[in-house]
Amino acid sequence: MSIKEEDFIEELKRIVKQKGLKYTEQREIVLSILLQADDHLTAEEIYNKIKEEFPETNVGIATVYRALSFLEEVELIASINFGTDGKKYESNAKSHHDHLICTDCSKIIEFIDDEIEKRQEKVAKANKFKITGHSMQLYGLCEDCQK
Amino acid sequence: MSIKEEDFIEELKRIVKQKGLKYTEQREIVLSILLQADDHLTAEEIYNKIKEEFPETNVGIATVYRALSFLEEVELIASINFGTDGKKYESNAKSHHDHLICTDCSKIIEFIDDEIEKRQEKVAKANKFKITGHSMQLYGLCEDCQK
DNA sequence: GTCAATGCAAATCGTTTGCATGAAC
DNA sequence: GTTCATGCAAACGATTTGCATTGAC
């Protein structure tokens, strides 16, 4: 487990305690699965991974959803929306970024563009909006799928 | 009906014919509702508007969904995703733009930023992606809801 | 007349909820 | 011991599908 991952687990403990809630194995497992994943996972994929990697722990899909909502709320993880096809989650251990999504094979490429970020702030300010989050996806065909 | 709206209806007729499909009143009604709407509508809202504005026409919600998929596929309309809360549609008669969405009152403000568009192209090119569409939403609190 | 499009109801899928039980504190 | 979190199954809401019927061509 990398240092960053430990930090996130510690952060979760801190948040839970500070809110007067309880620290459970399930919440930790969901977070750690996302910390170790190198791609974006759906709730169901996380649920299956738990059953695989932690067969001794009994988890319900409802708990996975509850943990994900909680972790997203406290900003330890983030989600991208795939419409009817559900949401995908990733940990916030990586720095902020946006996504290029292949509409054919669903591959996701992450990118950062500071200029875009800056312009977004500007637009928000011009419209007197207090930004709490944003979601930007570019859809298209990846190199392989263009063939 | 503005000239632009007529153009869109004509375009629909052309596309339908070219594809060897059938031109139906229902598809035209769904498109024209979106052409006349000044805000973004859900499938259900469109369905209700049809029952209101075209009470003599019998439509099922399934047909509305089928028409919306079709119209989106041929790029006469576009959608923005609200996750579990469903999709909202708008016609493509207006020029391309992105959205500022209030997480409190759901108000949507449209904006265009050429610089952001340019940077997006650049990012796509750098990753050898062939862009077919994009979706960018900034979430936050609008002026009123900050109070 | 043929074939696509429709309306309806049932089915599906991701997600949420109610409730009794179990675990953290 | 109290209270929050869990697992399970049932409920939910948006969207899709199967199928017999209708309507466009």
Q: With a 7 Å cutoff on the CB, does A99 touch strand C?
A: no
Residue A28, nucleotide of least CA–C1' distance: D5
Residues of chain A with pLDDT under 50: none
Is pLDDT larger for residue B5 or for residue B122?
B122
Above pLDDT 70, what percent of chain A? 95
- Which nucleotide comes closest to A86 if you measure CA to C1'? C14
Are the CB atoms for A89 and A46 separated by under 8 Å?
A: yes
A vs B, Cβ pairs < 8 A, gives 118
Residues of A in contact with B127 (CB under 8 A): 100, 109, 111, 142-143
B86-112 confidence digits (pLDDT tens): 789 999 987 788 888 887 777 889 999
Enumerate the nucleotides of strand D whose atoms come under 7 Å of any protein CB.
Answer: 3-10, 13-18, 23-25
DSSP for A3-69, please give it. HHHHHHHHHHHHHHHHTT----HHHHHHHHHHHH-SS-B-HHHHHHHHHHH-TTS---HHHHHHHHH
Q: What percent of chain B has pLDDT over 90?
A: 62
Predicted pLDDT at B137: 84
Q: What pLDDT score was predicted for residue A3? A: 60
Mean pLDDT calculated for residue range B1-28? 91
- Give chain A residues 20-49 with Cβ within 7 A of strand D: 20-22, 24, 26-27
CA-to-CA distance for B135 and A60, rounded, in angstroms? 33
Comparing CB atoms, the residue among A123, A134, A138 nearest residue B139 is A134
Q: Is the per-residue pLDDT at B3 higher than 70?
A: no
The neighbouring-strand residues paired with B41 are: B89
A-chain residue closest to B87, CA distance? A83
Buried b (16+ CB within 10 A) or exposed e, B76-86: bbbbbbbeeee
Give the model's pLDDT for residue B84: 67
Reply yes or no on whether the pLDDT at B83 is more than 90.
Answer: no
The reported pLDDT for the residue numbered B47 is 97
Instruction: Write down the residue that tokens 């035209």 correspond to.
Output: B28
Separation CA B80–CA B137 (nearest Å): 9
Q: Indicate yes or no: CB of A127 within 8 angstroms of CB of B109.
A: yes
